[in-house]
Amino acid sequence: MIVIRRFLSLFAIAVALGAPQFANAQAPAGVSEGDWESMKNLVDPTAVHFEGYEAGLGLKEDGSPYRVLYTPSWLGDDYQVVANGLLHAQLGKAGVEVTTISGDLGAANQVRAIEDAIATGQYDAIILQPLNPQTIAVAVDKAVAAGIDVYSWVTTPNTEEYTGFAGYDADLVETNGQVGTKLVELAEAAGATEENPYLVLEIWGGRSYPTSQTRHSGVHKGIGDSKIVKVIETADTDGNPDTVIRAIQDAFAQYPGIQAMYPHWGDASSFEEGLRSVGRLADKGEDGHVVVFLQDIDKSMLGGMRDGVFDYTLSNGPWPQIDLVMKMFLWHTVLKQPLGDGADLPKDVYLPMPLLTGEQLYTPEGQLFGASVAFADMPLGKWDVWPVLDTTSVGYPVPTLAARKTLLGY
């Protein structure tokens, strides 16, 4: 993945430059002192756009608004709520009308929303996070054929016809493979052998979910052919807290010497309660500590990362993904510029997934486009104070009214 390697090199440069000096900066215009106090260690005001997109950018030449249908997989966690809030606030400021119809964890609901959008002819674009990439593919093809641009994030539909995508590919050595590589390092440090391997509990989300499939595959690519790491896989949990706790209890009953744990997803409290129930909830450095790798860092996980209950997280937060999808929509649907190889914006943008410790979350290593991956520490619900991220550092444009005037003449 050339794009991921490009981003990783930029991360290395940022880290080499040292910690940013924006914590003492004054609150940007439009941001209260109270809100700035909560976000000043999370956002570099010199590398983002607090003013947001300009009013009128999302209007057509006749003055009517562009209309977007957003259909997420559901709206039941911080991840989805942040994306939905930013879409409405930031595109709304530009004059775009955004309508959200949640999939409510039903792939058929997303298909129905897209088919209704085609039938009504009311939308210029659809933004989605596919619950089932295969099930939604035909509907995406029909939407594009009907002249509706379709942008996806998190995962791509199983078709080449979608307009643009921003997200992550967990099935790489550079991404989820980092977990596997770290597990081998931990095993070596612990003196593990093929006869006495380092025991790792992998808590499956669901084997039918592409997200779980790629996360599992990526981790095992990092482990490679090492024989000193033994992975114990649970049955599917769907992230259900009670099911996760039982899975932890069953695994430790059979393998009491488990040394590390990697859940595909789920509620952090269930990881803590599961470990507590088997007598293995201990902070880093304490006897009996189980090394825990998290895939996400929502609000419930940040406390455990800071306190040392959890050790690592692979960042794949919603903020940079949805920010890039908005830029794709404005650049292509509104400003009529191409997406693809050789264009200012590619059709597919795969973001890096740095493996971070709790100490790194608020350092340059934990930032992308001027903002920390610890997105849940931002003022949730106050979407108008969240800045537009600056992607010009990697050559991706930030659409403006001036660009529209130059490109389209209005």
Is the fold of 2-168+317-408 the same as that of 177-314?
A: yes
Six-digit token pair at 306? 């800071």
- Higher-scoring residue by pLDDT: 265, 280: 280
pLDDT digits (tens, 9 = 90+) for 368-410: 999 988 999 999 999 999 999 999 988 999 999 999 999 999 9
Domain ranges for the chain, please list them.
Answer: 2-168+317-408, 177-314
- Higher-scoring residue by pLDDT: 317, 198: 198
Query: What percent of the chain has pLDDT above 90?
Result: 79
Query: Which CATH number applies to 177-314: 2.60.40.3080, 2.30.30.60, 1.10.1660.10, 3.40.50.2300?
Result: 3.40.50.2300
Q: How confident is the model at residue 22 (pLDDT cuts 50, 70, 90)?
A: low
Q: What is the pLDDT of residue 325?
A: 98
**Is the model's pLDDT at 355 over the cut of 90?**
yes
pLDDT digits (tens, 9 = 90+) for 25-71: 789 988 999 999 989 889 988 889 999 999 999 999 999 999 999 99
Q: CATH homologous superfamily for 2-168+317-408?
A: Response regulator (3.40.50.2300)
**Is the model's pLDDT at 309 over the cut of 70?**
yes
pLDDT digits (tens, 9 = 90+) for 239-253: 999 999 999 999 999
Q: What is the pLDDT of residue 19?
A: 42
Give the pLDDT mean for 124-137.
95
Of the listed ranges 25-29, 179-183, 185-189, 272-276, the one predicted with least confidence: 25-29
Report the 10 Å Cβ neighbour count for 389.
24
**Is the model's pLDDT at 20 over the cut of 90?**
no
Q: How far apart (Å, rounded) are the C-alpha atoms in residues 155 and 175?
A: 15
Q: How confident is the model at residue 4 (pLDDT cuts 50, 70, 90)?
A: low
pLDDT digits (tens, 9 = 90+) for 157-170: 999 999 999 999 99
Q: How far apart (Å, rounded) are the C-alpha atoms in residues 407 and 401?
A: 10
Spacing of C-alpha 153 from chain mean position: 9
